Amino acid sequence: MRVAILGEPGGWHVDRLADALRQRGHHVAIIRWAEVTAGVDTSGTSFGPEDLAGADAIVVRGMPGAPAAANRLEDVIFRMDALGQLAARGVPVINPPRALEIAIDKYLSLAVLADAGLPIPRTAVVQDAAAAARAWDELGRDCVAKPIFGSRGRGLTRVRSAAEAAALLPVTEGGIAYLQEFVDHPGWDVRILVVGNRTFSMKRVAAGGDWRTNISRGAHPEAFTPPAAWIDLAVRSTAAVGATIAGIDLLPTADGRVYVVEVNGVPAWRGLQSVAGTDVAAEITLEIELIAACRPGRTGS
C-alpha cells in the first residue's frame, strides 16, 4: 500500500508512524503541506506531488495552517479543498476532510458536540469589546480566552475582569474572541485517544499552581483507566465530528461532572505513549490498513 503522510519530516509523530507503516511493508512518502499542488483543466483536476496523487491512503499529521496570519485563511481553504477533492476520488483521508474542518475550529467542534447532546462548558464567541465584557459577566466572571484555531495550550488566557475581556478586542480593528467559562477542576484532566474501536487513556496533571493541563505547558502524564461512561463520551465525541482517530479531552469538575472540552483531529500521543504501555503508532497503522481495505475497488496491498 502507498501511504502519503502530510506532515513535517523529522517530526516525532510523523517518524514513528512512518516507521510503523514501513514495518508492515507499506511504501511511505512524507509530504509537507507547502509541497501540495493542484491543477484544473477541461479534463478535470490533478494533484502533486506524485506520491500524493497516487496514494492509496492519505494520513494528515499536521494541521493545514500557515505561519503568516495574512495568508492563513487562503492556505487553510486551499489545503482543505485539496483534501476534499482527493477524498471525493475515493482516496481514504485520515481523518476525513470534514472531520478535520470541524476539529480545527473550536467553535464549530463545540457546537457539533452540543448538538449531539454531549456535555460542554458554556462558551461565547464575540466580535467587539462590549460584547466580550458582557460575555465575561454571563460566564461567571471568570473565563478562559482561547484562539479558535490553536493547539498545545498556546494562547490560553485566564480572564478575571470585564476590562481584561474587553481588552481582547481592539475597539477599531475588530476581531474574534472565544471565551469559555472557567471550570473549577482538581488539577488534572483526561486525554482519551480513540483509534477506530479502540481507546487509550492518560491523566494529565498540571504543574504546581497552574490551571492548564497541557503537557506542552508543564503538565505530566500518568497512567489512568477512565470509567466506562467517560470512554463512551470520547467515542460519541469522535463519532459526532466524523473522525476515525481523535484525541478527546475530558475535564472533571470539583462537583463530579465531566465536560468534553476539545476534540483533536490530529492528536499527539507522545505523552500517552510513555504511560499507556501500547505502541500507538502500530495501532494507528492497523486502523489505516482497515480503512484502506474498505476502499471501493481495493483488492490487495
One domain, residues 152 and 188: no
Q: Which of 84-98, 128-142, 145-159, 234-248 has the lowest mean pLDDT?
A: 145-159
Residue 51 covered by a domain? yes
CB-based contact 75:66 (threshold 8 Å): yes
Q: Determine the pLDDT at residue 187.
A: 84
Residue 273 covered by a domain? no
d(CA 259, CA 289): 32
Report, as an integer, the average pLDDT of 89-108.
94
One domain, residues 167 and 235: no
Q: Determine the pLDDT at residue 277.
A: 87
One domain, residues 141 and 195: no
Q: Kind of pairing, strands 198-205 and 188-195?
A: antiparallel
Report, as an integer, the average pLDDT of 276-282.
93
Contact residues for 142 (Cβ-Cβ < 8 A; gap 6+): 158, 159, 160, 181, 182
pLDDT band for position 70 (cuts 50, 70, 90): low
One domain, residues 13 and 89: yes
We report the CATH number of the domain holding residue 33 as 3.40.50.20
Residue 212 covered by a domain? yes
Count: domains in the chain: 3
Digit-coded pLDDT (tens) for 167-198: 887 655 558 889 999 988 888 999 999 999 99
Q: Determine the pLDDT at residue 65.
A: 55
Contact residues for 203 (Cβ-Cβ < 8 A; gap 6+): 188, 189, 190, 221, 222, 223, 224
Digit-coded pLDDT (tens) for 124-165: 999 988 898 999 999 999 999 988 876 655 667 888 888 888
> Does 67 have pLDDT greater than 70?
no
Q: Determine the pLDDT at residue 299.
A: 44
One domain, residues 135 and 82: no
Residue 64 covered by a domain? yes
102 DSSP β-pair partners: none
One domain, residues 90 and 11: yes
What domain range is 27 assigned to? Answer: 2-99+286-293
In the chain, the N- to C-terminal Cα span, in Å, equals 5
d(CA 117, CA 100): 20
Nearest to 101 by CA among 263, 236, 261, 234: 263
